[in-house]
Structures are given as C-alpha cells and as structure tokens.
A = this chain, B = another copy of it.
Amino acid sequence: MDPIRIAIVGIGKIARDQHVPAIRGNGAFSLAATVSPQDAGLEGVPHHASLDALLAEGPAVDAIALCTPPQVRHALASQAIGRGIHLFLEKPPGATLAEVAALEAEADKAGVSLFAAWHSRFAAGVAPARAWLAERRIDKVSIVWREDVRVWHPGQAWIWEPGGLGVFDPGINALSIVTHILPRPFFLKDATLVLPENRAAPIAADIAFRDTGGAAIHMDLDWRQTGPQSWDIMVETDAGMLKLSQGGAVLHLPGGTEHGEDIEYAGLYRRFAALIRGGRSDVDTAPLRLVADAFLRGKRQTTAAFHD
C-alpha cells in the first residue's frame, strides 16, 4: 500500500517537536510538504508559504495536518476538504463549536476522513485508566493542571486573544482525558475564570462539574505555577484511588504504578492512518464543548496584568 502523502500546515513548536518525528516514524505516511508564511520549513522537504500555493503547485498530497492557531483554522480546513484531502486537526479542532460541526458535515459529504486529535488521550496511562474505571463507582474527581505559561507558551500572543482559550489551552488536555476515562458524561455546575486586566483570556480557572451519577468533579487550572508543574487527575472510587500524573503518562492504581513512555503523537498518527484506511472520521467535540460552557456560564474575576 502506498504511503499517505501528508503536508503539515503551520510549522510552529508543536509541529517540529511532535508531528514531524511522529510522521517520520510511521511507515504509513510520507512527509510530502510543509506550509508556513513565516518559516523556511525543513531541510529536503518541499515548502510553500500558503496552502493556496501548495494546492496550485504541488506536490500532490492525500492528507494535511493542520497545526495553525485555531482562529484561522476553518478556512484552511474547508479548502482542504473541498479538494478531497483527509484532515488531522491539532487540538483544539477550531475556534468555535459550530465551525467544527460544519467541517464534520463537509468532510462527510466529501468522503474524506476528519480527525479531531486530542493528543493527551494517547498518553500511556489513559487507555488502562479508562479500562479500570469502566467497572467502578466514581465518588469524586480532582483535576489539578498548574503550569508556568512563560515556559510552555513563550510569546504566543494568539493564545491570549479571544478564541485563544488562555489557560484552557492546557486545561482542554485534562478535559480530553477525563471525558475519555470516566464512565458517565459530566457537565458544568459552576465556574470562575480569572483574567489578567490586560488580557482577553483567563490565566486561571476553578470549575465544578457534576457527572450524571452525582459525582463531583473539580478542576483547578493555573498558568502562574513556577517550580514543580502539576498535570494530575485523581479519581476516588469504590475500589480505591486512581491517579494519572504527568499529563496521563504515569498511572497509579491501588495495586501499583505503571510508567509509560511518551507515545502520544505516535498513537495519534496510527489512529489517523486507521481512519483514512477505514474511510472513517473521529470528531469528538466534548472537551471544547465543556470549555465553551465555562465561558458561557462562568463568573469572571480580574487579576494583575500579565506580561510575557
């Protein structure tokens, strides 16, 4: 079977750190081109300044991984779908829920595979956590996602603009795990968003969810964490405590701890290849829907200005 010729659109930090090695490490794909208006691309790989130029001048591609900021993603995605190109959407899949729903309908009509990728769902501890929790009674869940924005998002102005999500950019990773591992759906009861006085997106948030069985789910997001960083999910059950730490990579169960390797993007590209080969799509907007609900329903507090 010929490899899937894939282009990366949007060559930033996540593309270089994660997408390029994952594509090069997967025989189902060949990296055919890169697109970026600012960047020179990669040694030995055809490069264009725009998707228009790629589509006009080639090389031909079967698939695109879209890694641009969410605010400009829809038009590029729609253009690719219109050309019959399969699409991998880096998280979050769009700046709005309605545009993702529209893309899903367009992809369905065009017969291309659309993959709304949630990389944290492919962290090593997540699949075994989901399997273990499927049989349990859930009593209480605590999510603590505290990191230093200056380390992880240096100078990324778009992340502070409306539609950029602020601290929900990492927080949506936690939500992508929790929506995947808990056996019941859950929804927001109360939320407080904390915004720097000079920014349009929150730097911290405190959210109370409830699942349909009545279990309380608390989420603590903070981008002002210097020193040790926390990406932890604790689930209290009738069989004891499950803890996922390091963003899902390490799973602690009452019987012992499993340490996993970083396999997130390798897992994502295996999944994307399977979707394309199977003629299917995978577009779960539940994590983005919870974030939209937090903006819709949350109280807002103002805090000190933030400067990079």
Contact = CB atoms under 8 A, between A and B. Distances in A.
A292 B186 contact: no
Most buried by B among A97, A289, A291, A300: A97
Interface string A36-78: 0000000000000000000000000000000000000010001
A296 B106 contact: no
A59 to B, nearest CB: 28
B188 A96 contact: yes
Contact of A187 (B98, B186, B200): B98
Contacts of A212: 78, 102, 105-106
Given A78-B212, A212-B106, A289-B101, A187 B297 contact: no
Counted per complex, copies of this chain come to 2
B290 A292 contact: no
A98 B163 contact: no
Nearest to A289: B97
22 contacts: A78-B212, A96-B187, A96-B293, A97-B97, A97-B289, A97-B293, A98-B186, A98-B286, A98-B289, A98-B290, A98-B293, A99-B187, A101-B187, A101-B286, A101-B289, A102-B185, A102-B186, A102-B187, A163-B297, A289-B292, A292-B292, A296-B296
